[in-house]
Amino acid sequence: MRLFRLSPRSIPSALALLAALAALAPRGARAQERQIDYAALRDETVRAMSEYLQINTTNPPGNELATAKWLQSFLAKEGIEGEILDTAELGKGRANFYARLKGDGSQKAIALVHHMDVVPSNAELWSVPPFSGAVKDGYVWGRGALDMKSEGIIHLMSMVALKRAGVHLTRDIVFIANSDEEVEGTGAVIFTHNHADLLKDVEFLITEGEGTNVENGVVKWFAIGVAEKRAYWLRLVAHGTTAHGSIPRADNPVPRLARAVARAAAWQTPIHLLPAVDRFFKAEATLETGEHRTWLANAKAALATPRGRAFILSDPYRNAILRNTIAPTVLTGSNRTNIIPPVASAELDIRLMPDEDTTAFKRELARVIGDSSVHIEVMPGVMPSYSADINTALVRAVEAQIHEMLPGVPVTTPLAAGATDRPTYSHAGIQAYGLEPYIVENKEEERGVHGVDERLSIANIEFGLKLITGMIRRMQ
């Protein structure tokens, strides 16, 4: 063996060589990875999804403990330890679930999150029993096939596939399944409160999203959910004196309440164009022609003109993602036609823009109503505000993967008018995103989510596996 002594002049060159060799190390590690057989993985995922859908987790009462046990047993066979958590806090038959696939820790973790509960279903209206997990006609059928047990299984099998393939992970993959998203959201709230230690290294999180625009087999755009409107439910209350309806009184609370509701409902709240919404409109513009295309491509300018503004706001969804909205929903007064009630109330389903201040909004609503005798009460369950960055490693990884899988399809960032668990995790300091790992026809999604004959195609299951595994690989 010949020994060499480094001169001072040669040290920088040697260090540069070592750095270059170090940079090649991940490539060497990747060379040891095994290819994922997506056809075989798809078929295994179909079987797992069918079993998962057979567990009835209708909420109420939930029964998510049964699904947590199923997940724990499944992962144990793959050498991944899973923990059943929060059973005491959530109540009988309920639980949260947590597991982690370790990486080398050089980057922060990514969490894959779904909820285990599903909404009720009327079996008489379904083509198959809602909890059969039937596999037929190229689909897996069952309550939760779209919202959102299927996504949970795609997350699960993607994590398992990456482990089996020996993919070198710089980020831990955290797998979380929550209870009670469909009713009160207590599962995620309790999980984030009780287990901050399990989340402290999580940088990014994906869970259910807004869906992708698919018409007649054509994908118009693919969505990453980056923000939600904030549910801020208020109750208007007017007091008076109970009396017989045959002798009207000036202090009848019903007319005062009716005037207040009418003024609140007619309030044209200010327009506020968020960057994510502007990006969404630009994707929508590619589907239009003429002045409609021009208006959506430059929404800020269009909203400053009467015709452009009228066009953009003519669509209920576009209107809803540009402003705070108020929808009167519940009216309560007398239970007898001939009795004037002592109290009348109305509930308002208010959805605020992510950056709206609740105190300022309530003060302005009181001004619009213009009647100090009508009291405004905040109803329980106000969620924290939520908005994620639209320029991160995760967003870029999804964009790159989608552009590979769906060339020419724009990736955009719609604002959710509904509600998910994302704000709860965002409040824990995590960049939380909505991502549905499939491309379902608009009509199919509208019919199946919370509706009848909920199903997911086997082709979409393979698409989802490629999307999630590809996204995670790109983030290493």
Q: What local confidence, expressed as pLDDT, does residue 419 receive?
A: 83
Cα distances (angstroms) measured from residue 392 to each of 229, 354, 399, 466, 472: 21, 19, 11, 20, 13
Same domain, 188 and 259: no
> Which of 57-71, 232-246, 361-375, 411-425 has the least mean pLDDT?
411-425
| Domain match, 220 and 332 both | no
Here the CATH number for the domain that contains residue 316 is: 3.30.70.360
DSSP summary character for residue 387: B
Q: Are residues 436 and 392 in the same domain?
A: yes
Q: In which domain, by residue range, is 465 found?
A: 38-226+388-474
The H or E element spanning position 99 is: strand 96-101
What is the Cα–Cα distance from 275 to 283, expressed in whole angstroms? 13
Residues 96, 182 share a domain: yes
Q: What is the pLDDT of residue 71?
A: 98
Query: Residue 139 pLDDT more than 50?
Result: yes
Q: Do the domain assignments include residue 31? A: no
Q: Peptide bond before 61: cis, by omega within 30 degrees of 0?
A: yes
> Is residue 296 located within the same domain as residue 246?
yes
**Same domain assignment for residues 176 and 281:** no
Decide if 62 is inside a domain. yes
| pLDDT one-digit tens code per residue, 109-132 | 999 999 999 999 999 999 999 999
Claim to verify: residue 273 and residue 342 sit in the same structural domain: yes
Residue 381 binned pLDDT confidence (cut-offs 50, 70, 90) = confident
CATH value at residue 183: 3.40.630.10
pLDDT surpassing 60 at residue 104:
yes
State mean pLDDT over 76-85.
Answer: 98
CA–CA separation, 356 and 378 (whole Å) = 16
Could you tell me if 439 and 460 are in contact, meaning their C-beta atoms sit under 8 angstroms apart?
Answer: yes
The per-residue pLDDT of the chain, averaged, comes to: 93
Residue 130 lies in a domain: yes
Q: Is the pLDDT of residue 83 over 50?
A: yes
pLDDT at 384: 86
| Last residue of one domain, picked from the residues 352, 378, 404 | 378
When pLDDT is averaged across residues 251-266 and rounded to a whole number, the result is 97
**Confidence band (pLDDT; 50, 70, 90) for 3?**
very low
pLDDT at 204: 98
pLDDT tens, residue by residue, 424-435: 999 999 999 999
What's the pLDDT score for residue 33? 87
Same domain, 326 and 198: no
pLDDT confidence of residue 294: 98
The DSSP secondary structure of 221-249, one letter per residue, reads: EEE-B-EEPEE--EEEEEE---EETTS--
C-alpha closest to that of 199 among 83, 111, 81: 111
Virtual torsion, Cα 36, 40, 46, 52, nearest 10 deg: -60
In a domain, 164, yes or no: yes
The token pair that represents 286 in the structure block? 């590619």
- Structural domain contains residue 21: no
Report how far residue 192's alpha carbon sits from residue 190's, in angstroms, rounded to the nearest whole number: 6
For residue 31, what pLDDT is reported? 59
Each residue of 178-229: pLDDT tens digit?
A: 999 999 999 999 999 999 999 999 999 999 998 899 999 999 999 999 999 9
Residue 312 confidence (pLDDT) above 90: yes
Task: Indicate if the pLDDT at residue 9 is higher than 80.
Answer: no
pLDDT at 415 over 70: yes
Please tell me whether residues 319 and 464 are part of one structural domain. no
45 and 158 inside one domain? yes
Per-residue pLDDT at 22: 42
Specify the pLDDT at position 374. 98
For the segment 84-96, the average pLDDT, to the nearest whole number, is 98
State the pLDDT at residue 30: 59
Q: Which of 378, 410, 445 is the last residue of a domain?
A: 378
Amino acid 289: pLDDT: 97
Say yes or no to pLDDT of 10 above 70: no
The answer to whether the peptide bond before residue 148 is cis (omega within 30 degrees of 0) is: yes
pLDDT band at 344 (very low <50, low <70, confident <90, very high): very high
Residue 325 has pLDDT above 50, yes or no: yes
- Residue 300: the pLDDT is 98
pTM tops 0.85? yes
DSSP strand pairing (202-207 vs 109-115): parallel
CA distance 421 to 136: 32
Q: Is the pLDDT of residue 6 over 80?
A: no
pLDDT at 299 exceeding the cut of 80: yes
Q: Is residue 33 part of a domain?
A: no
Q: Is residue 15 part of a domain?
A: no
437 has a pLDDT exceeding 90: yes
Boundary-marking domain end, from 343, 378, 413: 378
- pLDDT greater than 90 at residue 233: yes
Number of domains present in the structure of the chain: 2
Q: What is the pLDDT of residue 2?
A: 31
Q: What is the pLDDT of residue 23?
A: 44
Q: What is the DSSP string of 151-188?
A: HHHHHHHHHHHHHHTT---SS-EEEEEES-TTTT-HHH
Of residues 139 and 416, the one with the higher pLDDT is: 139
Assess whether pLDDT exceeds 80 at residue 385: yes
Q: What is the mean pLDDT of residues 233-239?
A: 98
Same domain, 457 and 323: no
Asked if residue 383 is part of any domain, the answer here is no
User: Residue 4 — very low, low, confident or very high, per pLDDT cuts 50/70/90?
Assistant: very low
97, 184: one domain: yes
